[in-house]
Chains A and B, each alone.
Chain A
Amino acid sequence: MNVKKGKARSIFIGVCVAPAVILFFIFMIIPTFNVFKMSLYKWGGYSNNKEFVGFENFSKLMQDTNFLRSFQNSILLVVCVTVVTMALALIFAAIISREKIKGENFFRVIFYIPNILSVVVISAIFAAIYDPTTGMLNSILGIFRGDKDPILWLGDQKLVIFSLVIAMIWQAIGYYMVMYMASMASVPESLYESADLEGANHVQQFFSITLPLIWTNIRTTLSFFIISCINLSFQFVKALTNGGPDGATEVFLSYMYKQAYTNSSYGYGMAIGVIVFLFSFGLSALVNLATKREPLEF
């Protein structure tokens, strides 16, 4: 009986897990392995002249000020966008799902829209908003600060990265809000009812009920958000500033592309890929560790 059961269990596990593992291996593990492998070569991309150079690409990277700058920019973007987006998304999700807000569905539908738009569309929109003379932002600000020199949202090298941050938050916030609303909806209503009876206000309820119960979900999204942030920052940079002005918004993926595909340094580009991989892995692991709690069941 026991043996039979064990066999059935093994078959069940095998049938369920094997297809996923096989697909994952072929389309993700092997290509990633190749990225790591190519990072040790000097290769332009077209010919068969691959020259093994060991860690030379990496040691060059450490002295490449452009790369270090793109690294800084990436970290700044990831931190700013993550913190603001997460906080706002949680608050809005809680407000919409807990306060009896009229037009809840309307807000939900609207807030999610930026996320379904292509980055190309969003960039076109923000290019118009940030326009120094005719842009929406400067014309609104002009009411308060008068006709002084216009603010160059995409021209000021200290400002431009935050202009990107705003566009990215605008794009991402709805996505995470809907995500949190979905998980908040599975928190049993009875918990809130009894909390109401005990006289806890909504802010207290948010911290003592909502947050702990959707904590697993928050952790998931947080780790995931860091990855998607790195990805999106690249797409936005490509469409909005192309790394400019003069490298002020270069992020490491855009730098990787520049190196691998327009500077014919494919191996060097893959070395940057390796660093991006290790970086996102490390950062997420750190976040994951810092937010570890016992999963609550309800």
Chain B
Amino acid sequence: MKRKLLTLLLAGSMTATMFAGCGGNDPEPATDNNASNASTDDDASKADDNNSVEDTSAPEEDASVEEQTLKVAAFEGGYGADMWSEVAEAFEASHPGVTVELTIDKKIEDVISPSMKAGDYPDVVHLATGREAALTETLTKEKALLELTDVLDMTVPGEDVTVKDKVIPGFFDTLGTNPYGDGVTYYAPMFYSPCGLFYNAGLLKEKGWDVPTTWDEMWELGDKAKEEGIALFTYPTTGYFDAFTYALLDSAGGSDFYNSCMTYEDGIWESDNAKKVFDLIAKLAEYTESSTVANANDQGFTKNQQLILDNKAIFCPNGTWLPGEMAEAPRADGFEWGFMAVPAVNEGGKGSSFTFFEQMWIPAAAENQDMAKEFIAYMYSDEAASIFAKSGAVQPVAGMTDQLDDDNKLFYGIYDNGATAVMGGFASTAPVEGVSMADTLFGTVNSIVSGEKTVDEWQKAVEEASDQLREAME
């Protein structure tokens, strides 16, 4: 599973948000012009349903249970679809009268957005940010999501703890759950996984090279390897620099600096700390395997990952899905995956690793909002979390890692050596025409590697994009 690479394929990837058109139901009914005749109807029926939800969700009233259908749309990632059916069944069993209507798809955006445009909204959507079609981001920018702050204080169904107490501390404090940076939660954190540097542990062992723990050791290793025709570094596509860069930023300047970067503070990208990160990536570019850029696209990224398996490169930034993704690929004798946090940028500082997590949210126009919130609260129950864990999906619930297999214990043990966990990406802004931070900050890496652009040009472009996005923050 590659969270940002799933998409593409001609315009298809676009269609998700392409139906951007028909008046969806706006949470602020003010400027309603011609488009949505349906919204008033929906609002009316929504109100009805809300009442009925309250009736049924009270467990005492079993006798008068009203049948209701909860429409759940979930992205089918590398964990498979079965766990969702199982969780849906378990939810139905614990909530009499509720039927869960599941829609699961690897391109869930394409499946749900057309009907959303036509006024037919799912009640709960599990879909991460950072996907190419950016449906979640679009709805966020359009303020079409339901506020979830009250879910934090809800009791997890079947248990006597609140959601807030169940979830690992820190997860609800990030831009990954509070996209506007104002402390109001709109996304519920789901399946987390650390991102870091994967490396060719078998090769290092064979050559008797130590695993570098600082960037200086890293460069030494790079020079040693170069003599033997092995490159230090490769990357699948520049999209994978997001987690890597986030980790570097946090390591370079601490969490306050990191949050300033993510909220586009004036001049932050021209600061010394930022400069350290730019320079470091530029230096890494010199150690990058020469054919990497040619394959750093959605058609060819597996070839870059294959470089590691073939002993042609040592490190690449990636997430925990990588070994599974390359499970069937041939490999050099004695090959073994290694996984580590990103080494500290400052001497004696802490290493860091970005924690990627997926999100679940409720469209503001959903019909069964209360039941939808109940469903989200249920996601953190031991029952649900165990079902997910069987497929390798780890909920941010304390104690979950104990249930994992050995491979996964390695991944989730990345923080045990004192590496900082970095969470949450850039703050949401109103759309700014022609400006994309991802393209400017990460896409440019290709040009740095091929020498088309200098670090100064890069840094300047990022600061400019940051300036423009800051103005659009609300």
Residues of A near any B CB (own CB < 8 A): 44-50, 57, 60-61, 64, 66-67, 119-120, 123-124, 127, 130-133, 149-150, 152-157, 234-235, 238-242, 244-247, 257-266, 268
Contact = CB atoms under 8 A, between A and B. Distances in A.
Contacts of A61: 433-434
Contacts of B138: 44-46, 264
Contacts of A124: 299
A157 B452 contact: yes
A150 B447 CA distance: 18
B444 interface: yes
Contacts of B26: 47-49
B290 A244 contact: no
Contacts, number: 176
Interface string B26-65: 1010011101100000000000000000000000000000
Contact of A48 (B31, B238, B291, B292): B31
B18 A48 contact: no
Given A153-B294, A265-B434, A247 B300 contact: no
Q: Which 6 A-B pairs have the closest CB atoms?
A: A45-B20, A155-B294, A245-B446, A155-B293, A264-B431, A152-B294
A67 B106 CA distance: 31
B77 interface: no
Contacts of B338: none
A154 B142 contact: no
A123 B8 CA distance: 12
A259 B300 contact: no
Contacts of A67: 434
A9 B14 CA distance: 48
Contacts of B18: 257, 260-261
A66 B20 CA distance: 23
Given A245-B296, A245-B447, A261 B14 contact: yes
Contacts of B16: 261
Contacts of A133: 291
22 contacts: A46-B138, A46-B142, A49-B31, A120-B9, A127-B300, A153-B294, A156-B450, A157-B452, A238-B8, A238-B13, A239-B299, A244-B238, A244-B296, A244-B297, A245-B238, A245-B450, A259-B434, A260-B20, A261-B17, A261-B134, A262-B14, A268-B434
B23 A262 contact: no
Contact of B144 (A46, A153, A156, A246): A46
A156 B452 CA distance: 10
Q: Is the interface of B mostly helix, strand, loop or mixed?
A: loop
A44 B295 contact: no
Nearest to B435: A263
Contacts of A157: 446-447, 450, 452
Nearest to A57: B433
Interface size class on chain B is 35 or more
Interface of B: 8-11, 13-14, 16-18, 20-21, 23-24, 26, 28, 31-33, 35-36, 132-134, 137-139, 141-144, 238, 290-300, 303, 430-436, 439, 443-447, 450, 452-453
A47 B133 contact: no
A247 B434 CA distance: 13
Nearest to B35: A48
A116 to B, nearest CB: 17
Contact of B8 (A153, A239, A258): A239
Given A155-B294, A157-B450, A245-B447, A48 B36 contact: yes
Interface centre among A49, A261, A265 (most CB of B within 10 A): A261
B141 A264 contact: yes
Contacts of A132: 290-291, 294-295
A240 B299 CA distance: 7
The CB with the most chain B CB atoms within 10 A, among A45, A132, A257, A266, is that of A45
Given A44-B141, A262-B14, A264-B141, A247 B439 contact: yes
Nearest to B364: A47
B9 A155 contact: no
A249 to B, nearest CB: 10
Contacts of B446: 155, 157, 244-246
Nearest to B131: A262
A257 B238 CA distance: 20
B293 A64 contact: no
B432 A265 contact: yes
Given A48-B35, A262-B134, 18 more contacts: A44-B20, A44-B142, A45-B17, A48-B24, A50-B31, A152-B291, A152-B294, A154-B294, A155-B294, A235-B10, A238-B10, A239-B8, A242-B297, A244-B296, A246-B446, A247-B443, A261-B14, A265-B431
